[in-house]
Amino acid sequence: MDGFGFIAWIIIGIVAGWLAEKIMKRDHGLLTNLVVGVAGALIGGFLANNLLGVDAAGNWIVGVIVATIGAVVLLFLLGLVKRRA
């Protein structure tokens, strides 16, 4: 996701975090959505690049989709850890 600037990262992070929150039926705030979305973008970008060979850099739609998938994976894994603790 090198093709995006700082503001784009924030916007994509908020949108991806919000979408992941709705998909996973969670209730978080704006800041948590941002953090989950940006972390999801890193996870999703890594997975998309290494497993699928897809580069999401510079394409908003693909960037949001990849970040949302990564955020859903992150929320799923956090849910598993939370249940075990």
Q: What is the pLDDT of residues 23-76, one digit of tens each?
A: 999 888 888 888 998 898 888 888 888 888 877 777 888 889 989 999 999 999
What pTM does this model have?
0.84
The pLDDT, as a whole number, for residue 3 is 65
- What pLDDT score was predicted for residue 50? 86
In the chain, the amino acid numbered 14 is: I
Beta-carbon contacts of 62 under 8 Å, excluding residues fewer than 6 positions away, are: 54, 56
Three-state DSSP state, 3: coil
Q: Which pLDDT score, from 0 to 100, does residue 69 have?
A: 92
Who's near 18: CB < 8 A, 6+ residues apart?
33, 37
- Report the pLDDT value the prediction gives residue 1, as an integer from 0 to 100: 47
According to the model, what pLDDT value does residue 13 have? 87
